[in-house]
Structure 1
Amino acid sequence: METGNQTSVSEFILLGLSEEAEFQPLLFGIFLFMYLVMFIGNLLIILAIISDSHLHTPMYFFLSNLSFADICFTSTTVPKMLLNIKMQSKVITYEGCLSQMYFYMVFGQLDNFLLTMMAYDRFVAICHPLLYMVIMNSKFCGFLLLVSWLLSILDSLIHDLLILQLSFCEELKIPHFFCELNQVIQLACSNIFLNELVLYFANGLLGVIPLIGIILSYSKIVSSILKISSARGKYKAFSTCGSHLSVVFFFYGTFLGVYFSSAAMQNSRKTAIASVMYTVVTPMLNPFIYSLRNKDIKQALKKLFRAAI
């Protein structure tokens, strides 16, 4: 098979979730609805936190950034998918594919770090309540966010630069609705050993370590809650981290489910369908989880609506 230099590659073909023409209007309607719900829901969370001074605390600082990251994370993939369905096109340019991969990885990794920071915030609040404001001061929270951004950008930049070194075959069809890194790598005709090595190393270092941090934080939290004598005290302590725990479950549960199922199924199209869970559904559900289970957010949203009226 002929190979071409990476500079000669002009476009990729995104096969999407289905190639059946009769399903395209249905897919367009479903994904447009989910995207609008996700966008409006997360935007309301951000505006509610900004407008209510009572929510200017570390926990809600991280939550507002999580909502922002969720908006950007989903916006890197769904609008292009909707545009392709509307225009009856499956094409994405080489530059567009690289950009999509870059921003998708930046905001996906940022989501990962923010969930870890929120777990640590709850650990300090429950296990060391008297030192909470000393430890989780504004400078420290800002530092954590800055480091998260830098690591996310660096990780994504390395992957994109390695992609630039690859030569691609003539068959440039991606069985996905966006440019997923591993799918793009598999289209290369040149040696992809370094790309795969960096991919697995980065996933292990920047994926597993934060997850371990979350597990350790919640193991300490559960241990502290069990030591509380009153049932009311236990419920109050658990309620402060229940929403975050639900979001963590959805994010990592769907992501790991897709990861392991893709290894078992070896079916790229089914993997693409399953990935909708963590790329679209989870960011859409996050605002509902926080607003339905959190009295402070409910009150802030009510104030926001009253001010708007």
Structure 2
Amino acid sequence: MSKYSLTMYYFLILLSIVIFCMGFSHNVYQPIVLRLLQGVITGYSTACITLIATQTERKHVGFALGTLSTASISGSLIGPTIGGYLEEILELQSVFFVTGTLMMIVFITTAIFVKENFVPSKKRVLNIKEVWNVIPNHNLIVIMFVTSFILQLAFYSIEPIVTVYVTELAHSSLHVALISGLTFSASGLASIIAAPKLGKLSDRIGARKVILMALIAAGIVSIPQAFVKNPWQLMLLRFILGLATAGLTPSVNVIVRKVSPEHLIGRIFGFSISAQYLGTFSGSILGGQIAAMFGIRSVFIVTGSLLLTNAFWVYKAAYRKLKAFV
């Protein structure tokens, strides 16, 4: 059993316990502390990506990571729909009990079915500065980290304002939690459909082309969300956004995999996942602040502009250099 497998087991057990305990919270400070603890031990995604990236043949890594991305992104975006539905038919605390139980099921499934061929390294573990000095393509890695950050920021900038926006569009608070969950999760459904196909496309034509096209399409689709007239139009555009961005995360991971030294893949993927979580955190804060200062609709214009700016930067600074790798 390797360090990646053991890491996944430990994180899953701890996550299931922490999430389950949230259902017993008696004041606002207890869930805050538990959420902080949840963030500290959220390393399952990193271990999964590293495991698949290191165990898959290079020519198939795009498809493999695309399939993983489908499960990851879709699960995180479909979650609000299930949560909104459970909140309507059960007590709010029951959502945490159900989620904690599901995490324990994931642990059992992982322990039984996940196998790995791993040869432990006897080399000294490098610190962050030493890792950075060993990486031969600093600029390309940084661009991929920033792209991951911007993508998550764009996705989650809507999270703090989606319920208010849906209520404003629907002119009613009836079933607003469920409709908001569906709206936020529409891009997840699109990812289920598109990510494996875009992963295969990435293997065939190159991840750099998929990234550039996806960023441009995502930026173009984001801006019209500011001008919708009802929740269903917003839901449709979120679905199209999901189709556009489904190939971004796996393509970024493919590039990170191919430009990274073999013995440092796990460490570098850890940095990449950290950039994604930072984007999730920043997106929620940025979305709320922009909505408070300039109005809800301006959130979509700002995030769309960021995606288009990111696309321009990728084209100018990395597109030609990446030809040597993908």
Question: Whose radius of gyration is greater, 1 or 2?
Answer: 1
Give yes or no for TM over 0.5: no
Using structure 1 for the length normalisation, give the TM-score.
Answer: 0.34
Q: Which has the higher contact order (CA 8 A, sep 6+)?
A: 1
Whichever structure has more strand as a proportion of its residues is 1
